[in-house]
Amino acid sequence: MPARTSMVLLVLAAALGATTSTAPAADDGKYPNWKGQWARFITRGLPGQAGHDQTKPWGFGQEAPLTAEYQAVLEASIADQAKGGIGNFPTARCFPAGMPHMMMAFGPQEYVITPETTYILVNWDDHSRRIFTDGRDWPAGLEPSYAGYSIGRWIDEGGTGRYDVLEVETRGPFKGPRAYDGTGLPLAFDNQSLFKERIHLDKADPNILHNEMTVIDHALTRPWTVDKRYVRSANPQPVWTEYYCGESNAQLVIGKEAYFLSPGGELMPTRKDQPPPDLRYFSGTPK
């Protein structure tokens, strides 16, 4: 019996060794070095939080080529936020931001490259993207999602024998509503966006990653292209913080009204003269 067991183990070990030796590796010199922690490039002096176009202020300052209908949506969103509401920014309710906001790198990103799939780990409201590079076609009957479905292909643009550009197309149907930034800069409510990306290292600085993203969306009068940039941390062992939106979120939406939860756990209005929520299903007299 011991001899038979040893033979089985030897055969198993040989099979595993053959599998390991023939498995393709993503670090065999064909793929670019995108390892490390990547943070968004910040343009100093811009008011507000980061925008879709990193070189311009958020909201109206983005100068997005919106149709008249969706320009009105943006105006209404900013006006509501000025009164204390959340406007057209559902991520304030801890919903995923989805595409394209999830590629803002509001929290740091990490890229994990394999021959079949490139994974983008997102350390914020959203958590990950999968970009399939195994040659598959678009599947039928996709379920709506915030991130969409991404198919990419690697290109040796420099002719060096090593891939240097990842071209990606991302389709829906998407879940929504979604917004480009915290002001509620809108994407079309039909959730039929299309995204095309060219991701590559900067030719002069390998610690800057470019994401040339084009958005095709019914809220726009034309395709909108921006160059998102990410900066690689110089720390070989960077700190990865833990973030969960729901853990500290004090925004509450009841019906169509947004309220705020005080540190003492009491419901507070977010704007002047805001009515309380409907209490018809609760017994007792409010105090």
Instruction: Give the closest residue to 215 by CA, choosing from 231, 230, 226.
Output: 226
- Other Cβ atoms less than 10 A from the Cβ of 133: the count is 21
* Domain extent listing, the chain: 38-232, 250-280
pLDDT given at position 243: 74
The average confidence (pLDDT) of the chain is 86
Q: For strand 267-269 and strand 257-261, is the pairing parallel, antiparallel, or unpaired?
A: antiparallel
Question: How far is 57 from 38, CA to CA, in rounded Å?
Answer: 21
Tokens of 89: 């920014």
Q: How confident is the model at residue 211 (pLDDT cuts 50, 70, 90)?
A: very high
CB 47 within 8 A of CB 57: yes
pLDDT given at position 13: 47
Query: What's the predicted TM-score (pTM) here?
Result: 0.83
Q: How confident is the model at residue 8 (pLDDT cuts 50, 70, 90)?
A: very low
Is it the case that residue 227 has pLDDT exceeding 60? yes
